[in-house]
């Protein structure tokens, strides 16, 4: 049985993009794998966080993951800072990864923006911590959205250099799992930008906690074009907003974009949007309700996270201790 690891930042309420690009796949993988899912609060610190807000969002994200259908008893749900093995291995990886490798990371360039000098050092070494998250468990398969592909390649480069430099075969190669027709959900306001919890406009995204009215309004106001929906997927080319909405419908109805077009070809957005809104409400309502229920009992939620961290540490501690021994750290 292969071990799965994935992480998500507690940087806001999870969006439809997080759900379709990540969490929904996490749920689906539980049948065949041992799964470890982590709320990466240390990664969130790479950008400024209000302390109280970060704590609240860490609980919110954990609750959302469980509400989406991850089973924290059969698998592991925990938050990163509760297992120190991540940071211990990240330091070793800081010393393995080369500056030249980090300089190529497009996410750093995007997030640092034009004022690189003002970005935190943590943001720069972010991919090393991410590599440590995965390798601390000898996980081999990592479900993520398409935007994380480059970071996983770096994680493999780090593992290879570690194995090579220390003449060991210790860290396995990891395989990205980029799943589903909606691996990249785009903003509702701009079909060229990804839907993100950090976008200043709430109209750009569907949050997993949005009410039915909010969902309907956001879909109604979503940017589109005046053309009716085409007969075939090829007809969606150069229509990024239309392609995005069709992709969302396809993902939520467990079909393909071609299936959706077979149903809606020739119809305008006046017909398609209400159908999409209805489908969204039907699929997201139970998740929102369960999230609210879990957050209503923070004691029980914290107990789930504590138990997850204990079981995570039981796997990671011996692996990271061995990595420390391999590089020559004295164990007394």
One of 109, 161, 193, 194 is an active-site residue; which one? 194
Residues contacting ligand AMP: total by CB under 6 A: 17
CA atoms within 13 Å, Cβ hemisphere of 71: 9
Q: What is the nearest approach in angstroms of ligand TRP to the Cβ of residue 6?
A: 4
The rounded distance, in Å, linking the Cα atoms of 47 and 43 is 8
Contact 39, 64 (CB under 8 A): no
Backbone angles phi, psi at 47, to 5 degrees: -120, 155
Partner whose binding site includes residue 134, from ligand TRP, ligand AMP, none (CB under 5 to 8 Å by kind): ligand TRP
State which of positions 183-212 bind ligand AMP (CB under 6 A). 183-185, 194-197
Catalytic residue status for 223: no
The rounded distance, in Å, linking the Cα atoms of 128 and 290 is 34
7 counts as binding ligand TRP under rule CB under 6 A: yes
Query: Which residues, in sequence order, are bridge partners of residue 155?
Result: none
Q: Which is nearer to ligand TRP, 281 or 320 (CB)?
A: 320
State which of positions 145-174 bind ligand TRP (CB under 6 A). 148, 151
DSSP 232: S
Q: What is the nearest approach in angstroms of ligand AMP to the Cβ of residue 17?
A: 3
Contact 175, 134 (CB under 8 A): no
Catalytic residue status for 218: no
40 counts as binding ligand TRP under rule CB under 6 A: yes
Partner whose binding site includes residue 133, from ligand AMP, ligand TRP, none (CB under 5 to 8 Å by kind): ligand TRP
- Which residues, including other chains, have CB under 8 Å from residue 270's CB and lie 6 or more apart? none
**Among positions 4, 5, 13, 17, the unique one binding ligand AMP when judged by CB under 6 A:** 17
Residues contacting ligand TRP: total by CB under 6 A: 14
Partner whose binding site includes residue 130, from ligand TRP, ligand AMP, none (CB under 5 to 8 Å by kind): ligand TRP
154 counts as binding ligand AMP under rule CB under 6 A: no
Contact 53, 97 (CB under 8 A): no
The rounded distance, in Å, linking the Cα atoms of 92 and 323 is 8
| 35: three-class secondary structure by DSSP | strand
Choices 4-12, 46-54, 210-218, 311-319 (CB under 6 A): range interacting with ligand TRP: 4-12
Catalytic residue status for 194: yes
65 counts as binding ligand AMP under rule CB under 6 A: no
144 counts as binding ligand TRP under rule CB under 6 A: yes
Q: What is the nearest approach in angstroms of ligand AMP to the Cβ of residue 86?
A: 16
Q: Which two tokens stand for residue 281?
A: 């409400």
**Among positions 23, 85, 105, 134, the unique one binding ligand TRP when judged by CB under 6 A:** 134
Partner whose binding site includes residue 247, from ligand TRP, ligand AMP, none (CB under 5 to 8 Å by kind): none
8 counts as binding ligand AMP under rule CB under 6 A: yes
The rounded distance, in Å, linking the Cα atoms of 125 and 129 is 7
Cα–Cα distances in Å, from 38 out to 61, 75, 91?
Answer: 10, 11, 19
- Which residues, including other chains, have CB under 8 Å from residue 106's CB and lie 6 or more apart? 150
180 counts as binding ligand AMP under rule CB under 6 A: no
Residue of 138, 141, 161, 175 lying closest to 30 (CA atoms): 141
The rounded distance, in Å, linking the Cα atoms of 93 and 151 is 13
One of 74, 109, 111, 283 is an active-site residue; which one? 111
Query: Which residues, in sequence order, are bridge partners of residue 79?
Result: 39
Q: What is the nearest approach in angstroms of ligand TRP to the Cβ of residue 300?
A: 26
Residue 106: how many other CB atoms lie within 10 Å = 10
Catalytic residues: 111, 194, 197
Q: Which residues make up the interface to ligand TRP (CB under 6 A)? A: 5-9, 40, 43, 130, 133-134, 142, 144, 148, 151
Which residues contact ligand AMP (rule: CB under 6 A)? 8-9, 17-18, 21-22, 144-145, 147-148, 183-185, 194-197
């Amino acid at each position: 049985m292969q071990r799965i690891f994935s992480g998500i930042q507690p940087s806001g309420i999870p969006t439809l993009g997080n759900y379709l690009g990540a969490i929904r796949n996490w749920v689906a993988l539980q049948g065949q794998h041992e799964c470890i899912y982590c709320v990466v609060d240390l990664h969130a610190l790479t950008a400024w966080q209000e302390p109280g807000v970060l704590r609240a969002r860490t609980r919110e994200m954990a609750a959302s993951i469980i509400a989406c259908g991850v089973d924290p008893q059969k698998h592991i749900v925990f938050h990163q800072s509760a297992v120190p093995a991540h940071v211990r291995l990240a330091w070793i990886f800081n010393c393995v990864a080369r500056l030249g490798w980090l300089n190529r990371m497009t996410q750093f360039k995007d997030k640092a923006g034009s004022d690189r000098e003002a970005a935190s050092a943590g943001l720069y070494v972010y991919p090393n911590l991410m590599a440590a998250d995965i390798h601390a468990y000898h996980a081999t398969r990592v479900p993520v959205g398409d935007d994380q592909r480059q970071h996983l390649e770096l994680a493999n480069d780090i593992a290879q250099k570690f194995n090579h430099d220390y003449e060991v075969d210790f860290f396995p190669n990891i395989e990205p799992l980029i799943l589903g027709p909606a691996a990249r959900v785009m903003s509702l306001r701009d079909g060229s930008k990804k839907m993100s919890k950090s976008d200043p406009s709430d109209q750009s995204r569907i949050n997993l906690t949005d009410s039915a009215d909010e969902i309907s309004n956001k879909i109604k106001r979503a940017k589109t074009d005046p053309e009716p929906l085409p007969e075939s997927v090829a007809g969606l080319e150069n229509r990024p907003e239309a392609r995005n909405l069709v992709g969302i419908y396809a993902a939520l109805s467990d079909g393909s974009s071609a299936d959706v077009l077979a149903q809606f070809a020739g119809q305008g957005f006046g017909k398609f949007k209400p159908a999409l809104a209805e489908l969204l409400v039907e699929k997201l309502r139970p998740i929102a309700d369960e999230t609210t229920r879990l957050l209503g009992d923070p004691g029980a939620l914290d107990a789930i996270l504590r138990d997850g961290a204990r079981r995570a540490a039981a796997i990671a501690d011996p692996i990271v201790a061995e990595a420390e021994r391999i590089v020559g750290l004295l164990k007394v």
